[in-house]
Amino acid sequence: GDELTLDGIGLADGADIFVWNGKEVGGTKVMTGPDHEPVVINVLHLAEYNEGGKGQHFMESQHVFSCSTKVGDVHKALAPSGGIILKNGSGLDKEAKNWEVFLEEDMKETVRSVGLMDGSSVLILDSHDQSFVNVSSGNLTAFTYDISWLQVKNFCGTDDEEKHVKITATIETVMSDIKRKAIQELQLEEELGSDSCLRPISGNGKLLSPVPEDYTVKEAELKMGSLLGLCHGKAPTSTQLFLYFIVGSDQNTSPEMEIVVEETASVKECLNLMLEKSGLSGDNWHLRRIDWCYEAGEALSQENATLKELNVCRGDTLVITEGKLPPKGFLKIPIWWLKSWSHKKPGGNAQDQVNGVTCQMEALQVSPSGGELYTDLCYAGTIEIAGEASLEDLKMQAMTLPCCPEPIVPLPSFLRAWTVDSKRPGKLLRNNKQQLDAYKLGAKVEICLEALQKEEHLGTHDMLLRVRMGIPGERDYYSSVDLVWDISKECTTWALRQRVASHFCLPVDKIEMAKYFPDRFEWLPVSSWTQQVSKRKRKKKQESLQSAPYHLKDGDIIGVKNLLLDDTKDFSTVRDDIGKAKQRQLALGKKTSQQADRLQDRVFSEEKLNMKHRKPEVALSINVGVFR
């Protein structure tokens, strides 16, 4: 009222006065009157990863528009390109599920004409968010899947700092939408979308195979919270394969490389592409799969077959191996000669033992993870032999190869054949007349041959043991003696004790035995036979030494103590002390690196609390029978 005084309306000294002409604000004309009254609208959008409370899917804000504003202008102000606006047709009743999408013809209508008033709610969904909700039949139901998130790390930047963002997603979200949202969040150029791809990052930081853009999170087998890398290069199509390959099986000397090929390409074509990329030439190469030990495994021998026909999958690693493939039905087998060492003779002092063992370990490059005791392997060469050939034929052909100094081998029966396992003799091959195919040696088998002083014809029930008698008063042993033990009747402690005592011409109750585990540098005493057992329990069949904890097999080392001369029960040697000391050093280094990994894992520990917890693991006991 003009009749009121300034003092009457409570205006104090220094007060601010807003003066408006009622027609414009900041030079922009403001429409007045009941046809242009303001309307307060509640605007909802999907909550991002770090927005809202636990279980809250939407964020709400208020915006004011004139009731004469066109819906198209509201869409332009609130929704991004490709987004949609939905209104709650239930008016002020927010609990009702009656959401309707504004159609193209609604964009020309005004806010009032489409029924929006004070307190009305609208929902904004961009193209990425539309996959999270079901808007069919004009009804916005609950989420089709639980909403979670993925992390995307930027590997396309030029600076050293690799930024990463978290993108909301469900198991049905398409990878192309995740990539587009990540590019927006990282504030990168939109042109990057046509020349980039998303690659999962493993726990050790390795970039895995790119995910096709038309895959969903579920099809890509990604877990919620997984880390992806935004990298340069196009993702392979559904008909292409992304493969890793190395030259030779030693990754330290040959870095891992990547290539994208058509799944219909032949093995020969794939090999040529890999050779070209690695800068190699010639036809003296072939491809092999990588095995679980990350070594060259099965050869891809069918050079004209397609990768798809051979079940080569996306993300597989192949090895370019030197040498041509052997003809079909032939085996290409590296041959080694097994040479026994001269052991320490009685009389040396402890320091000589330490120095001698140290020199031996250095010469063999024996690691604390274990090495063959008192043996050495000398490479002789590689032979090609038919799978239908016999073991005797293999020995005959190996006798033509150059070898380490050994006694002259007159006949194949003077040779003992072993497979090579972890650079030491593994499985003993018996029966000279048996075909090589019957042994099921595999594509990457290696054979070592041991020269003997006399002919040997081991039966199927003969077990070969390396028996070593302890030197009285010293922590050392005499040279190993090969002991053949017939286990056709029983393979028990009592039977072994009788066989060993008979071999050394000692009373059965005057010896102690232990099996050696070279990978742990430990001796496991074989249980004493003098235990008092009742007649009822005596009838019970004794446990086989081929079962736990001994797992006795061909080539095992058995230490023997002569109690008439040496009553000590310690089977360990100075070499064992050295080996265990190195193992402790390695374990300490691994523990330090594991602690650093745990600190890094804590970053994601809180997010994983919301995931479903699995039932606690329960120990499983399995009894495995012995079949020979």
List pLDDT tens digits, range 347-403: 333 334 333 333 333 333 333 444 444 457 888 888 989 989 999 999 999 988 876
Interior CA angle at 556 toward 469 and 356, to 5°?
55
The mean pLDDT of 24-53, rounded to a whole number, is: 74
Q: Would 253 be classed as within a structural domain?
A: yes
How large is the average pLDDT for residues 33-43?
Answer: 86
Element (H, E) at 393: helix 391-398
Distance CA(363)–CA(474), nearest Å, equals 24
pLDDT in tens, 294-320: 777 788 888 889 999 999 998 899 999
Whether 308 is covered by a domain: the verdict is: yes
Secondary element (H or E) of residue 513: strand 511-517
**One domain for residues 481 and 625:** yes
Strand 24-25 relative to strand 28-29: parallel, antiparallel, unpaired? antiparallel
Long-range contacts (CB closer than 8 Å, 24 or more residues apart) made by 409-414? 409/451, 411/455, 413/455, 413/456, 413/457, 414/451, 414/452, 414/453, 414/454, 414/455, 414/456
Lowest pLDDT segment from 339-343, 349-353, 596-600: 349-353
pLDDT, tens only, 454-485:
999 999 999 999 999 999 999 999 999 999 99
Least confident window among 75-79, 347-351, 569-573, 582-586: 347-351
What is the span of the domain harbouring residue 224?
148-232
Shared domain check, 227 and 244: no
pLDDT of 618 reads: 57
Is 601 a member of any domain?
Answer: no
What's the pLDDT at 524? 94
CA distances from 494 to 459, 465, 511, 552, 568 (A): 22, 16, 12, 14, 21
Q: Give residue 27's pLDDT.
A: 76
Per cent of the chain over pLDDT 70 is: 76
Average pLDDT over residues 173-185: 88
| 518 and 626 fall within a common domain | yes
Same domain, 274 and 306: yes
Task: Identify any residues that bridge with 227 across adjacent strands, giving them in sequence order.
Answer: 151
Q: Which residue has the higher pLDDT, 371 or 628?
A: 628
What is the average pLDDT score of the chain? 79
81 & 156 share domain: no
CA angle 46, 52, 57 (to 5 degrees): 40
CA distance linking residue 415 with residue 426, whole number of Å? 16
Beta strands 84-88 and 121-125 are antiparallel
pLDDT of 16: 84
Nearest Cα residue to 39 out of 113, 112, 94, 123: 112
Angstrom distance (rounded) from CA 107 to CA 451: 93
CATH number at residue 262: 3.10.20.90
Where helices occur in 335-390 by DSSP H, the ranges are: 350-364
* Pick from 60-64, 159-163, 478-482: least confident: 159-163
Residues paired with 384 in a beta bridge:
332
- What pLDDT, on the 0 to 100 scale, is given for residue 343? 38
| Range 144-167 average pLDDT | 73
Domain endpoint, select from 305, 325, 345 = 325
Q: Is residue 470 part of a domain?
A: yes
Each residue of 275-294: pLDDT tens digit? 999 998 888 899 988 877 77
Residue 8 belongs to a domain = no
Quick one: pLDDT at residue 261?
A: 94
Opening angle at CA 299, ends 298 and 303, nearest 5 = 145
Query: What phi and psi, each to the nearest 5 degrees, are found at residue 385?
Result: -145, 145
- Tokens at 123, concatenated: 């929902």
Domain end among 285, 307, 325: 325
- Whether 18 maps to a domain, the answer reads no
| DSSP class of 21 | -
Q: Evaluate whether residue 254 is within a structural domain.
A: yes
| pLDDT for residue 308 | 92
pLDDT given at position 354: 36
53/68 same-domain check: yes
Burial category of 256 from C-beta neighbours within 10 Å (exposed 0-12, middle 13-18, buried 19 and up): exposed
Q: Are 357 and 469 in contact (CB under 8 A)?
A: no
Closest CA to 390 of 428, 425, 438, 426: 438
Q: Residue 472 has what pLDDT?
A: 93
Residues near 374 by beta carbon (within 8 Å), at least 6 away in sequence: 340, 341, 343, 480
Q: Output the six-digit token pair for 268.
A: 């020969």
Residue 11 has pLDDT above 70, yes or no: yes
Nearest to 116 by CA among 165, 52, 62: 62
Q: What is the mean pLDDT of residues 159-165?
A: 71
Print burial letters for 482-492: b (CB count within 10 Å at least 16), e (below 16). Answer: ebebebeeebb
**pLDDT value at position 259?**
94
Q: Which residue has the tokens 């009838």?
A: 539
Q: What is the pLDDT of residue 331?
A: 86
Q: Give me the mean pLDDT over the 507-526 stretch.
A: 93
The conformation of residue 127, written as its DSSP 8-state character, comes to T
Give the pLDDT band of residue 35 (cuts 50, 70, 90). confident
Inter-residue contact 560 to 468 (CB < 8 Å): yes
What pLDDT, on the 0 to 100 scale, is given for residue 186?
A: 86
Band of pLDDT at residue 216, cut at 50, 70 and 90:
confident
Q: Which pLDDT value is given to residue 107?
A: 87
CB within 8 Å of 461: residues ≥ 6 apart: 486, 487, 488, 628
d(CA 474, CA 16) in angstroms, rounded, equals 103
Q: Which of the residue ranges 100-104, 437-441, 475-479, 623-627 has the most confident prediction, judged by mean pLDDT? A: 475-479
Mean pLDDT is highest, among 38-47, 75-84, 256-265, 296-305, for: 256-265
Residues 359 and 420 in one domain: yes
pLDDT band for 79, please (50, 70, 90 cuts). Answer: confident
Is residue 95 over pLDDT 90? Answer: no
Residue 92 has pLDDT above 70, yes or no: no
Residues 124 and 179 in one domain: no
Neighbours of 336 (CB within 10 A): 23
- Among the three residues 232, 250, 268, which one is the final residue of a domain in this structure? 232
Which pLDDT band, with edges at 50, 70 and 90, does 522 fall under? very high
Least reliable range by pLDDT among 39-43, 101-105, 160-164: 160-164
When divided into structural domains, the chain yields a total of 5
Residue-wise over 592-623: b if at least 16 C-beta within 10 A, else e?
Answer: eeeeeeeeeeeeeeeeeeeeeeeeeeeeeeee
Please indicate, yes or no, if residue 473 is contained in any of the structural domains.
Answer: yes
Q: Quick one: pLDDT at residue 624?
A: 66
Residue 109 and residue 252 share a domain = no
Q: Are residues 269 and 413 in the same domain?
A: no
Residues 318 and 401 in one domain: no
Assess whether pLDDT exceeds 90 at residue 508: yes
pLDDT confidence tier of residue 197, bands split at 50, 70 and 90: very high
- Give the global pTM: 0.51
Rg of the chain over all Cα atoms, to the nearest angstrom = 39
Separation CA 127–CA 144 (nearest Å)? 16
What pLDDT score does 422 carry?
A: 82
HSE-up of residue 621 (Cα within 13 Å, Cβ side)? 1
For residue 36, the 8-state DSSP code is G
Do residue 90 and residue 212 come from a single domain?
A: no
Is the predicted pLDDT of residue 530 greater than 50, yes or no?
no
Query: Model confidence at 419, in pLDDT bands (50, 70, 90)?
Result: very high
Measured between alpha carbons, how far is 361 from 367 in angstroms, rounded to an integer? 8
* Element at 562 (helix H, strand E): strand 557-562
